[in-house]
């Protein structure tokens, strides 16, 4: 697939989502990077910013099967993965699919369900399969989870454990719109939601082709070394109790290739890694108690590491 065709497809997706989600261009691009890089995305912010609308707009823009799972305290793991039930007519147990059996999953307010229910996503997000009663069932291809959570409200929520956070390639926040953007939101959403009129812009096969193109993007050995030096420093920094895992480093590499594709290139630049590092690495780092009490964040420490680690010359 030539560069112009790729850019045309990605621009159609972006423009379609922007017709509904106003003033969130960076979040849209990060969502598209996750899509072409075969990664999952966690959207975190206060209610009413547009997290669910953004994920729903992506689903409508792609001709993929879509399920929305509203994570509430009463949701059980079997609701997500599926279950086996005995069929007396057939004299055998039959598998009944759960909500996870779709190309695109919106895990809405994921931190409102118990850790047991949250953990039912681990195998699906990592291995793209679910195991029920000892039998593994493959998930549709492509498969992507877009999860949302409220970063402010703590009552009735369960913080995502490190193992769950590590499955998300990208974690990002949305921002408040400017005054002019907010007026535009009023005008577009005051009547019938523009989500209802969105039409698919690319097919399932085209999504798979974009993902293949992202894999083939060239990343120079010096950039592999740069990623390795960055993640190594997260493990050695005295302020950090848990650094970035090899899986996190690999996701940064994959995401960098996805961003290069989004920017119209078939090769990566140091800027791809610099841009994505805060969104891919920061949520994988845990600070020690002294630094947390001092009010520092993992992003603060990561920015210090980035500044002290020379990037390769382009």
Give residue-wise pLDDT tens across range 54-87.
Answer: 888 998 999 889 999 999 888 999 999 999 888 8
241 near 231, Cβ under 8 Å?
no
Rg (CA), the chain: 20
What's the pLDDT band for 278 if we cut at 50, 70, 90? very high
How confident is the model at residue 314, as a pLDDT?
66
- List of residues 6+ apart from 310 with CB closer than 8 A: none
Share of the chain above pLDDT 70, in %: 98
How confident is the model at residue 118, as a pLDDT?
87
Domains of the chain (ranges, CATH numbers): 3-210 (3.40.50.300), 217-307 (1.10.8.80)
Q: Looking at the DSSP assignment, which residues form a beta bridge with residue 218?
A: 267
Instruction: Give the tens place of pLDDT for each residue, 189-242.
Output: 877 778 888 899 999 999 999 999 999 999 999 999 999 999 999 999 999 999
CA separation for the pair 101, 296 (Å, rounded): 40
How confident is the model at residue 174, as a pLDDT?
85
CA atoms in the 13 A half-sphere facing the CB of 106: 17
- Of 15, 8, 107, 13, nearest to 52 by C-alpha is 107
Instruction: Give the tens place of pLDDT for each residue, 111-158.
Output: 888 888 888 899 999 999 999 988 899 999 999 999 988 776 666 677
Q: Looking at 250-264, 271-285, 286-300, which range is the least confident one?
A: 286-300
pTM to 2 decimals? 0.92
Whether omega for the bond prior to residue 142 falls within 30 degrees of 0, making it cis, is yes
Residue 105: which H helix or E strand, with range? strand 104-108
The C-alpha angle with vertex 280 and arms to 173 and 5, in degrees rounded to 5, equals 90
Model confidence at 108: pLDDT above 70 = yes
How confident is the model at residue 155, as a pLDDT?
62
How confident is the model at residue 61, as a pLDDT?
93
Mean pLDDT along residues 14-26: 91
């Amino acid at each position: 697939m030539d560069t112009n065709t790729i850019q045309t497809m990605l621009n159609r997706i972006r423009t379609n989502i922007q017709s509904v989600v106003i003033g969130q261009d960076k979040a849209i691009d990060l969502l598209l990077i996750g899509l072409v890089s075969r990664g999952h995305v966690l959207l975190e912010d206060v209610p009413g910013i547009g997290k669910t609308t953004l994920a729903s707009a992506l689903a409508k823009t792609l001709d993929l099967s879509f399920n929305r799972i509203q994570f509430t305290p009463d949701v059980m793991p079997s609701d997500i993965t599926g279950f086996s039930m005995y069929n007396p007519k057939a004299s055998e147990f039959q598998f009944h699919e759960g909500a996870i059996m779709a190309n695109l999953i919106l895990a809405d307010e994921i931190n409102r369900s118990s850790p047991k229910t949250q953990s039912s996503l681990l195998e699906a997000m990592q291995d793209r399969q679910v195991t029920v009663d000892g039998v593994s069932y493959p998930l549709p291809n492509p498969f992507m989870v877009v999860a949302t959570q409220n970063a402010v409200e703590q009552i009735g929520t369960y913080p995502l454990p490190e193992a769950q956070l590590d499955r998300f390639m990208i974690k990002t926040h949305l921002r408040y719109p400017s005054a002019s953007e907010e007026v535009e939101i009023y005008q577009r959403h005051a009547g019938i939601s523009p989500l209802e009129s969105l039409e698919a812009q690319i097919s399932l096969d085209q999504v798979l082709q974009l993902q293949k193109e992202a894999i083939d993007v060239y990343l120079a050995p010096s950039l592999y070394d740069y990623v390795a030096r960055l993640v190594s420093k997260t493990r050695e920094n005295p302020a950090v109790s848990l650094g970035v895992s090899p899986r996190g480093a690999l996701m940064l590499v994959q995401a960098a290739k996805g961003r290069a594709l989004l920017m119209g290139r078939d090769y990566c630049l140091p800027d791809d890694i610099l841009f994505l590092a805060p969104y891919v690495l920061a949520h994988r780092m845990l600070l020690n108690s002294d630094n947390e009490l001092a009010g520092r964040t993992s992003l603060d420490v990561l920015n210090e590491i980035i500044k002290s680690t020379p990037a390769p010359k382009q």
